[in-house]
Structure 1
């Protein structure tokens, strides 16, 4: 391997390690809320993911409310449901591009073995944050979330190109 290739490989691992290290990526912060307890759930909202849109397109919540989201992928592609701020979604889209580039997301499939790939410093491409689920076509997953104070929040799919095609919705505070 020549020096330039070695440098690019090391740089890629460094960038990915930083990107997957925590809140600056697809994680969350006090502004968005926190993982909720099932015993605190006040209601359940079913969200269907279709290819490049959600149904419903927005949800209303109260500060401090704990909601169970039942997320169903009715599309033909892998999709994500991620609750976050617009700036966090923008940062997370870069991480999702890396997941595609490394073969983790393969159109309509998720390569779970590649999710475990060591990206350096013990970081992997696992998609296991409490504010997000990643689903193959036909899958259903649940996410329980307690919303914090009113903030600029949305739910979105950050698979490359999906957000830009309109696959996001607003979280409105009552």
Structure 2
């Protein structure tokens, strides 16, 4: 009986802190990530400081698109697929990353766990519908779009979306 309560408490803490149970798999009603080899076409998106070129992209439902993301700006930028509500939620997460010192103007900073006392230890930028691109770098994101819908591609780094770094992505039948 003496050891039972501490063991139960330790087991509860282990379960509650485990990332396996704490973070459910991401699902998206508009599609899923895909390997680049499955792409039926490539679309180059150039990121300037507070702009995307092109500003609109048309896609067919069922199409797998390889987005080639070229950051020609001076700042770190993000390419994120979603609707306006998803972007608003992600902007709050990105704000927390910036406030923690993890998100810098030109890149992501590795955080050591000792410096993260009191912070969300699961704080990462690893959503499959999103990629960060440092200045002067190129990255890719490949996605299969499963249904007709209206989406946005956006940079959710604090202030970038509001400054106009958002484009229209139309998925048609």
Q: Tell whether the 8 Å contact from 2:150 to 2:171 is kept in structure 1 after alignment.
A: no
Distance 2:65 2:48 in 1: 21
Equivalent residue pairs, number = 149
Could you give the per-residue CA deviations for residues 29-63 of structure 1, whole angstroms, max 9, x where no partner exists? 12x21001333211000101111110010111000
Q: How does 1:136-151 map to 2 (within 5 A)?
A: 136-151=134-149
Based on CA coordinates, which of the two structures has the bigger radius of gyration?
2
- Which of 94, 107, 110 is residue 109 of structure 1 equivalent to? 107
Structure 2 stretches lacking a partner, 5+ long: 1-18
Runs of 4+ in 1 over 4 A off after TM superposition: 20-23, 115-120
Could you give the per-residue CA deviations for residues 68-91 of structure 1, whole angstroms, max 9, x where no partner exists? 001011111111000011100000
1:35 equivalenced with 2:29 (yes/no): no
- What's 2:46 paired with? 48
Could you give the per-residue CA deviations for residues 120-174 of structure 1, whole angstroms, max 9, x where no partner exists? 4x62x22122111011111111101001211221100000010011100000124
TM-score by length of 1: 0.78
TM-score by length of 2: 0.78
Structure 1 stretches lacking a partner, 5+ long: 1-16
Q: For residues 22 and 160 of structure 1, do their structure 2 counterparts lie closer, same or farther at Cα, with a shift above 3 Å needed?
A: farther
Residue 22 of structure 1 and its aligned partner are, at CA, apart by 5.8
Question: Alpha carbon RMSD of aligned pairs, Å?
Answer: 2.3
Distance 2:72 2:28 in 1: 29
Distance 1:28 1:137 in 2: 29
Q: Tell whether the 8 Å contact from 1:153 to 1:171 is kept in structure 2 after alignment.
A: yes
- Which of 88, 91, 101 is residue 89 of structure 2 equivalent to? 91
